[in-house]
Structure formats: C-alpha cells, structure tokens
Structure 1
Amino acid sequence: MKNGIYIFVGEGSRFPSGVFTTTQDAEQWIRKYSLSGILSQYPVDEGLYDWAIENDFFKAKNEHQKEAKFIQQFTCASIEHFHFENGERG
C-alpha cells in the first residue's frame, strides 16, 4: 500500500495504542514492551471501506453494506497485518 501507516491494536483493546510510519519502528516498540496484538497498515487520507472498493478487495452486494453502520465497522483482511505475541511476530 502506498502512503500507509501502521497501527497497533493490543490484544483485548478496542482502540489503537500506537501509530507508526514504518514496521521497523513499530516492531521495536512492540518488542520493547513484549506486547501482544495486531499491527496493520492503513491508508492515509482515505477510509478503509473506500480503499477496499477502489482496489477490488470488496464490493457491496446489498444495500445494508452501503449504510453508515456497516461502513463504520468495516475491516478488510486484505490490508497488510502482522500478529504479535509477547513481542514476537507470529
């Protein structure tokens, strides 16, 4: 993904606990504290829903998938992501 940032969401958290411009900086911080969670790359200045549609990773199949409730909870398995357990990439 061009111009993406990396966001870390710790295990059991509903909100991110770190935002990074490189995986190297993110992994260094995750290892430092032996964190568990998911590091994902997100597009900048674009919603994930729109990015997924523009890159042919998602197509709305019915009307409810075009509504705010769906879009505000949207996630996409096609974004680059890494799982961590106790600071180690797994």
Structure 2
Amino acid sequence: MDRINGVWIFHGEGGRFSSGVFLTKATAEDWINQRQLSGTLTLYPLDIGVYDWSLEKGYFVIEKEEHNKATFIQRFTTGSQEHYHYEDGRLD
C-alpha cells in the first residue's frame, strides 16, 4: 500500500461524525489509549476526495452507472486506506 500525505481521522464506534483529526498516528493512538476509545483510525489523503484518490490509484474501478452519481460518491469509503480498529483504547 502506498504511503500517502494525509491526516489521521478517528471515527468513534456508533458516531455519526469523526471525533478527532491528527497529524501523526502516534498522537492519535495516545489520545485513543488515554480515553479508552473504540472505533477506527484512518489515514485520509489531503486535497483529494477518497473516491477520486481510489480511482487514481486503481483501488476502485467504475463498473456501474450509479458509481458516477453524487449519492454514491458522497458515501464512498475504501478499505485501501491505511486504517486500524481499536477496542477500549487497544489496537484490535
């Protein structure tokens, strides 16, 4: 997996919105561990949407007409981003 220039975003379990944005994974993990949080920490690329980034890197291929629609793009996520799962502050 390519290393990207980005930020680490923590999305807590059951949360509707992200609850933290960090420049380094170490800082994010310290915060997660100290507060015994559960959720996902994901590295997001800067200045490009995840949908476009995935297309550019070849991680996603448009196969259906709906893949070009806003309703699809605005909910798009990919497992190709570097990400980690935590349970009660510990790496799962």
Same fold, judged at TM 0.5 (above): yes
Q: If the TM-score is normalised by the length of the shorter chain, which range does it land in?
A: over 0.9
Scaled by the length of structure 1, the TM-score of the pair is 0.97
> Runs of 5+ in structure 1 lacking a partner?
none
SS in 2 for 1:2: coil
Which residue identity is paired with 1:64?
A: E
Scaled by the length of structure 2, the TM-score of the pair is 0.95
Which residue identity is paired with 1:80?
A: E
Deviation at 1:2? 2.2
SS in 2 for 1:57: coil
RMSD: 0.6
Q: Does 1:41 align with 2:43?
A: yes
Which residue number in structure 1 is paired with residue 79 of structure 2? 77
Using the alignment, how far apart are the partners of 1:30 and 1:67 within structure 2?
35
Percentage of matched positions with identical amino acids:
49
- Between the two proteins, the alignment pairs up a number of residues equal to 90
Deviation at 1:49? 0.2
The 5 A counterparts of 1:1-90 are: 1-90=3-92
Which residue identity is paired with 2:81?
A: I
* Runs of 4+, deviation exceeding 3 Å: none
